[in-house]
Structure 1
Amino acid sequence: MGKIAAVIVTYNRKDLLIEALQSVLSQDASPEYVFVIDNASTDGTREAVMLKFDFDNQKLIYCQRPENLGGSAGFSYGIQQALKTDCDWISISDDDAIFQPGYFSALRTAITEHATQQVFSGSVLLPNGKHDEMHREVLVNSETLTVKPIAEADYATDFYYDVFSFVGILLSRKLVTSIGLPEQDYFIRFDDFEYAIRALKDGRFLNIHGAKVLHKTTYTRSAIAPWKEYYVMRNRIAVLFKHRGESKTTRRYCRRFLARKLVAILLFKNRWGQARALSRAYLAGYRDGQDEHLGRNPQFLP
């Protein structure tokens, strides 16, 4: 079956992190190693967590990063640390992912039943009980990497899919060694999407309906921030060019993607007050995505 190393990336959410850690450590088949990757939190996260948990135990490893280079760099660093152990599988999640009882037991059973499968996941639930549709998707256009979410009814059984998020995903060491680390220069957004496209070359992913993770997110599609939208635009284009090249089809798709984002500013009243900032973010992201200017952009930070 093999050993599991869990990687949890956090930034300034100590209460959520404590809850996330408790949900992992209380499992009846918990991971053999648990890495906390702290992206330079300033809210006393390290002190609070150290008081709550026994980090002298070799199972728990706290990694304090000197600066916040984004979630993508945190995941990349965490996977690097996990690979230094004798683990066979690596679990990846944010600090707002609360693993429900039996999660890792269900995945360990799936590992034994699907010997050639390289990627497993559990179902992601929102606090209202519905599935968070952004985390498990299927490709509907492989040329433009266009996706659609898994239908709610499909969660009643195990299913295969094409694109995952970094919430409740389990990767084999063999796969990670083969495809490398996440693109840490993405900072945020689409780093998991790009990694999924790489991983898909070794086969589709299997979601286990009996494994569930509660996603305590406050993100909604209607509540957007201009600085985040810059990375949405830039990284979406960068992913497409990296995996599908700069063909007429991909360039046309990118122009349409930009146009849709700009038109959306006019359509949604809650965006009118940020119209100038959003337009600037989208146009800058469009240019930088095409020119492959990645990394943390000092003009677009929280």
Structure 2
Amino acid sequence: MSTIHPDPAAESLTGGATFDPASATITIVTYNRSGLLSRLLTSIREMDPKPGHVVVIDNASVDDTTAVVETFRESLGSELVYRRLDENTGGSGGFSEGMRVAYELGSIWMWLMDDDVEVTPDGLARMGAWAPRFKSIQGRRYDYDGSEFYWQYRLSIPLGIPIPFAPAGFDESGYRIMNSGCFEGMFIHRDIVREIGLPDPRFFIYWDDSVYGWLASRKTTSVIVNEFVLRRTREIKQWDMGVRHLNASSNAYRYYIMRNRGFMKHYFAEHGSYRPLAFSLGSLLTFGKELVRLLFVERTVRGTSNLWRGVRDGHKIAKDASWRPMPALQEPQR
């Protein structure tokens, strides 16, 4: 475990309040992967300490997800809240709904994750150790093979893309400042959620967590901490580039990664951070990266039509004068 070094400047962000595990809610989004979900819920059951609530958002699964969730209701050790949506809203819609439920439960901390990970037994304790100091925290995770997964925690805002060469190592402080986010492990305080609103469900998948993390970093000091608290349980085809890996994708991802740059453009423009020429270059680089992914990871050229469809629809979104960002939240009435 990494050593935590007090930072008075960071502590002033939250007043140094003591972390209460019962104030945290783990929010999970799942879709037709009941076997993986069962592994995650089992790992939560074995945690010490446990969160006050576990919220499971089911994106209209057609497998036995409902039955699997019910088997954990008595043994989980946390209050279990299950919501089965009427349609698949993607990760974006699922996390938006999950965070809404957690917020309305009165949760102080919300820990987001997909169904294809496990939590380490002391994961909540490790994240909670940083809670008196920061309000937007990202932990680290092990990949399927046990290796250390590298997440690109810095965005180039003018380009609107992750910075692939942001340093992977940590100094004695045990954290690095980030301006992005990942719903695979985001640990965020309700004060920040109240100010920036819920994740935008219109993204469906892709760029939603990057934009949300960026919005959070505008309100508070956001950090990635040198704490391994998650482990991926699903193997994904990869191209090993040495220091970095490039994962396989899908036609849906290829479409949304380009389409959703229209939403990203709106969010950047809303906050005075949109630079048209640089952002266009970022879109071109994103398109090129997806071509490389097709050729070297998936060994095919089929799928480029989805990229072009995404570009077309993204341009339409970017020109939509009626677009509005997600609103701030109010404290629920009690």
The answer to whether TM tops 0.5 is yes
| Consecutive unaligned residues in structure 2, runs of 5 or more | 1-18, 239-245, 320-334
- CA displacement, residues 55-96 of structure 1 (integer Å, 9 cap, x when unaligned): 898711111111111110000001111111122111110011
| Match for residue 111 of structure 1 among 121, 131, 148 | 131
Note the C-alpha offset of 1:34. 0.6
| Match for residue 264 of structure 1 among 283, 288, 292 | 292
Instruction: State the partner residue of 2:282.
Output: 253
The 1:76/1:222 distance shift into structure 2, 3 A limit, reads closer
Conserved? CA contact 1:93–1:166, under 8 Å: yes
The 1:155/1:213 distance shift into structure 2, 3 A limit, reads farther
Distance in 2 of aligned mates of 1:155 and 1:214: 23
| Match for residue 231 of structure 2 among 194, 205, 214 | 214
Distance in 1 of aligned mates of 2:211 and 2:249: 22
Conserved? CA contact 2:54–2:78, under 8 Å: no
| Match for residue 226 of structure 1 among 242, 247, 251 | 251
Q: Give the count of matched residue pairs.
A: 285
Instruction: State the partner residue of 1:299.
Output: none
Distance in 2 of aligned mates of 1:22 and 1:269: 32
Note the C-alpha offset of 1:104. 0.6
| Match for residue 75 of structure 1 among 95, 108, 121 | 95
| Match for residue 102 of structure 1 among 102, 117, 122 | 122
Conserved? CA contact 2:45–2:75, under 8 Å: no
Note the C-alpha offset of 1:155. 8.4
- CA displacement, residues 245-278 of structure 1 (integer Å, 9 cap, x when unaligned): 36233234334543x257538854844351xxx2
In structure 2, give the amino acid aligned to 1:198: L
Question: Is 1:153 aligned to residue 200 of structure 2?
Answer: no
Instruction: State the partner residue of 2:210.
Output: 193
Conserved? CA contact 1:241–1:290, under 8 Å: no
Conserved? CA contact 1:103–1:122, under 8 Å: no
| Consecutive unaligned residues in structure 1, runs of 5 or more | 295-302
Give identity over the alignment, percent. Answer: 26
In structure 2, give the amino acid aligned to 1:203: T
Conserved? CA contact 1:55–1:61, under 8 Å: no
Note the C-alpha offset of 1:8. 0.5
Conserved? CA contact 2:41–2:72, under 8 Å: no
Question: Is 1:7 aligned to residue 27 of structure 2?
Answer: yes
Question: Is 1:27 aligned to residue 47 of structure 2?
Answer: yes
| Match for residue 192 of structure 2 among 163, 166, 175 | 175
User: What's the TM-score, normalizing by structure 1?
Assistant: 0.84
In structure 2, give the amino acid aligned to 1:138: R
If each structure's helix is expressed as a fraction of its own residues, which one has the higher value?
1
User: What's the TM-score, normalizing by structure 2?
Assistant: 0.77
Question: Is 1:137 aligned to residue 153 of structure 2?
Answer: yes
In structure 1, give the amino acid aligned to 2:227: G
| Alignment root-mean-square deviation, CA | 2.7
